[in-house]
Structure 1
Amino acid sequence: MGVVRARKETGLLFLDFRWDGKRCREQTELRDTAANRRKLEKMLAQIESEIQLGRFSYATFFPDSRKCVEVTLAPVSVFSPAREEIVMDEAVLKTPLFADFIKEWLSENQIGWRRSYQVTIRGNIDKYYLPAFGSVRVGAVTRADLLKFRSSLAKVSGRNGNTTLSANRINKIMDPLRRVFEEAADRYDFTTPYVRIKPLKVPKSDVQPLTLQEVKLIVDSVRLDFRNYYIVRFFTGMRTGEIDGLKWKYVDFERRQILIRETIVYGEDDYTKTDASQRDIAMSQPVYEALVNQYKATGAMSEYVFCNLQGMPIEHNNVTKRVWYPLLASLGLERRRPYQTRHTAATLWLAAGEAPEWIARQMGHANTEMLFKVYSRFVPNLTRKDGSAFEQLLKTAHIQQGDIHEKV
């Protein structure tokens, strides 16, 4: 009696039965699931019934098989849900293994990516994609497989002590898969399984800028070798990679400008986050004085403004763990990511009444949309704080309640 088995090395099911005194084993592209076993068991039952009746046609069930030579009577037309599945799998057999296709996809696309994004995608491939789909043909992956894969990501431990990956992180892992399967479907003429899979809802994140009093407390309390660093961070709105990779050739003392032309990613110089990130930041007096002092310390030893004793760029994870978080804890301030220094600069500029367009340029935003969307709640009214400017306008126009009643 025949059986349905699974290969240990691939996890794919195959049929194992005897016919005409020979052992026949026929591989499928179906993974070892209860549903797939039921389909193949039905097909196997029909095969054995045909064998007992003496009318089994090997070519009818396995037209592309090379394992057994057909010696049978006239072929018999066979149709069943299991048979339909096997016919469909013949097209699947023409598609490459996921591991082979994604290697090809990576080589074709990475030329247009920043190095940091290349590192991210390669990490996703090695850590998530290949363990889940590597040994499966790209055309055999189903929508259900992708949904199960996404569910499995929710059980992965996150970074920085988080018990699970965030919804935003899961979305960023899933999105490249969408592009992988869209390209494979176009190239091998099958329907992409990545359909009707909406991104997970990401809770709106809130910025946590510090007040001017808190900034002063931090600057006054931080160790001296990092005081200039945090003054520049707080009052320029520079991103972490921008300030850590800042070079002296981009500091224009004469015009009092910091030229943002590069960033540092994984210890290497790279292009800025976006084209809009290429900008000239105006130095306020505290920033100017901090950079003048910093030049006395590192100007002769390194091309980088902020560097370690070997003249190399500082490593932000090390600074965060050894300087930033311990300082916040010692001052009794809420734990925040260092990136909040950027948000702090934006809210202080807004509170001071600076033009939104100017602030957007200083931040490296293409327009003011992000500015008002993220920071507006911290400054309800740029001229004062509570809508009193509009109230004053009405008074100036002599719009009084009594006047309204008289006109009515």
Structure 2
Amino acid sequence: MREINTYARGKMLYLDIRQNGLRERLASGVKDSKEAREFFKKNTPLILQNRAYIKKLAKDFIDYENALYCEKLLREEKEHKAIFSEDLRGELEAFFNSFIVHKRGTQKSYKNLQKTIIDFFQSEKLRSVKDFEKRHIVKFILFCEGKNMRNSSIKLRFSFLKRFINYCVDEGLREAISIKMPRLKMDEAELERSQKEALDYAEISLFIKNAPSPLKEYLSIAFFTGARTGEILALKKGDIDFVKKEIHIRKTRISKKETNSPKNRFSYRTIDMLKVVENVMLKLVEGKKDDDFIFEKYSNLHTLFKELLIKLNAKPMRLYETRHTFASLMLSRGEDVEWVSRRMLGHANSAMTYAKYARLINKSVKERAKFINEEDF
């Protein structure tokens, strides 16, 4: 009896060889796949003749597999070019390069927006910006909804598309077209997200008391400053003024040693350092120089936060939501809206704060117009 059976162990393919009443198992040297099994089965006579031939077959199969992969890539590229012209690529690249972008995070965000535009144009087989018509506006919205995007994400991508079209008009690449954002229907999930509950004072205390370092110190600062995650991690000892009880937000941290400018010009700000924050800061800056980060090690913050949520059986939330909790707590306790909005959060104006937190703003009833004397009328 002369035969070879194949089987997988882990991810690798093995050969079960039976010949002249003897049986042996040998490693093929390649990953298990349908193609690999067919390849070795096809070469059974050679393997039975000389076991050492297995090594050569393994090399031949890898070359064969690479050839198939390259052939697949060439075929996909050919199909890709058939529905997406180099003209449109050039138009998008020129538009993208028109932005003065220095931040890596912003560049990545713009690239994601650009990818949505590319995917949409491909799906509609539009070869140039000239082919975009008014009827495609609604189609673009439906395309985004089909990707299960939130309304906020759709609006962001629609704005990017509109800017792209207007740029092409200004550059003489197409005729002018009126582009208006259709009204989007807020679904239940979106409504629920917009009304998400923040942690209350007792829950904040519970989180901080049960958090291990450095999460404990981070949360103590985040919950009582409203600063963004990157802003807190970018703080250096020199940014903390213990005399004036202030913290200077000048940077945002994007890696272990690299910082960048904050989100926008309003994010450059000086915030008040509450006593609870000052107590933590005094410990964090001890023994550090002015140019040292107050958080030298922070890579496991998100992991520690997830573990804390599980430990406390708390609802899922992102580490960034400490900012939302700060605003909710302060406004519900009657703190001044301007102080919360512009000084602490760094909003351009308080209108944004009113729009998002109107239901939380303390509206205690006060007696108005005391100067009016009813007897005078």
Do Structure 1 and Structure 2 share a fold, with TM-score over 0.5? yes
Question: Which residue of the partner structure matches residue 124 of structure 1?
Answer: 113
- State the Cα distance separating 1:170 from its structure 2 match: 2.0
Report the more deviating stretch, 262-271 or 192-201: 192-201
Is structure 2 residue 353 aligned with structure 1 residue 363?
no
Q: Percent identity?
A: 24
- Whether contact under 8 Å (1:272, 1:278) holds in the other structure is yes
The structure-2 alpha-carbon separation of the partners of 1:9 and 1:253, relative to structure 1 and needing over 3 Å to count, comes to closer
Matched residues in 2 for 1:124 and 1:99: separation? 14
- State the Cα distance separating 1:258 from its structure 2 match: 0.7
Per the normalisation by structure 1, the TM-score is 0.61
Instruction: Report Cα offsets for 1:56-86 as digits up to 9, x if no partner.
Output: xxxxxxxxxxxxxxxxxxxxxxxxxxxxxxx
Matched residues in 1 for 2:119 and 2:334: separation? 53
1:164-313 matches, within 5 Å, as: 164-188=148-172, 190-192=174-176, 195-198=179-182, 200-201=184-185, 203=190, 205-265=194-254, 268-296=258-286, 299=288, 303-308=292-297
The structure-2 alpha-carbon separation of the partners of 1:219 and 1:147, relative to structure 1 and needing over 3 Å to count, comes to same
Q: 1:142 aligns with which of 127, 133, 142?
A: 133
The structure-2 alpha-carbon separation of the partners of 1:98 and 1:248, relative to structure 1 and needing over 3 Å to count, comes to same
Q: Cα RMSD (Å) of the superposition? A: 3.3
Per the normalisation by structure 2, the TM-score is 0.66
Matched residues in 2 for 1:9 and 1:235: separation? 52
- Whether contact under 8 Å (2:120, 2:143) holds in the other structure is no
Matched residues in 2 for 1:10 and 1:194: separation? 29
- Whether contact under 8 Å (1:258, 1:281) holds in the other structure is yes
Which runs of 5 or more residues in structure 2 are unaligned? Answer: 1-77
Instruction: Report Cα offsets for 1:153-199 as digits up to 9, x if no partner.
Output: 3233xxxxxxx221211221222111111121232363345634426
Q: 2:143 aligns with which of 144, 149, 152?
A: 152
Tell me the number of residue pairs that the alignment of Structure 1 and Structure 2 aligns.
289
Which one-letter code corresponds to 2:146 in the other structure?
Answer: K
Matched residues in 1 for 2:354 and 2:296: separation? 35
- State the Cα distance separating 1:266 from its structure 2 match: 6.5
Which runs of 5 or more residues in structure 1 are unaligned? Answer: 1-6, 13-30, 32-94, 157-163, 309-313
Which one-letter code corresponds to 2:161 in the other structure?
Answer: L
Which one-letter code corresponds to 1:128 in the other structure?
Answer: T
Matched residues in 2 for 1:343 and 1:355: separation? 16
Matched residues in 1 for 2:372 and 2:216: separation? 50
- Whether contact under 8 Å (2:226, 2:323) holds in the other structure is yes
Q: Which has the greater radius of gyration? A: 1
Is structure 2 residue 356 aligned with structure 1 residue 374?
yes
Instruction: Report Cα offsets for 1:237-293 as digits up to 9, x if no partner.
Output: 111221122222211223221101111246742222222221111111111110111
Matched residues in 2 for 1:199 and 1:98: separation? 28
Q: 1:336 aligns with which of 304, 317, 333?
A: 317
Question: Which residue of the partner structure matches residue 16 of structure 2?
Answer: none
